[in-house]
Structure 1
């Protein structure tokens, strides 16, 4: 399955990775690996995660307080958001 990112989601991912790397050398890479594991799980089993909105699913990252929000459309997995658990859900509205 093809994977595409909304620009906002790509920016959130890169910002989080940079923040963790600034906290400790190598921690940004660990965050990226946790994200990649969540993404691969979503690709393998796109209907296997909690639906939080119509056709939008949430995959919780291991070890980090972040979730990946995605939607499958036309054979493509769209990454809509990479959100810290303390951010209000309303900040994700309008992401498609």
Structure 2
């Protein structure tokens, strides 16, 4: 028999997973460094990826969006972990 989870808990978990996926996609599209940094040629820093181009860094808007997304994920994570269902023993 499968456990029965309350609808509100399932909704919170779904929101967390959706937010996490969105966060990962957004991060993947950002420059490799938050702050502007010079790249390097393969071998200079033991890069397994080959040459690494300069990073222009993140814009202020990108930094703010990442922080907002992280804050939302922390809040959702806490809401899932603190849900009364877990204390019910169900």
Instruction: Please indicate the TM-score interval, normalised by the length of the shorter structure.
Output: 0.3 to 0.5
Relative to total residues, which structure has the larger helix share, 1 or 2?
2
With normalisation by structure 1, the TM-score equals 0.31
Relative to total residues, which structure has the larger strand share, 1 or 2?
1
Larger RCO: 1 or 2 (CA < 8 Å, sep 6+): 2
With normalisation by structure 2, the TM-score equals 0.33
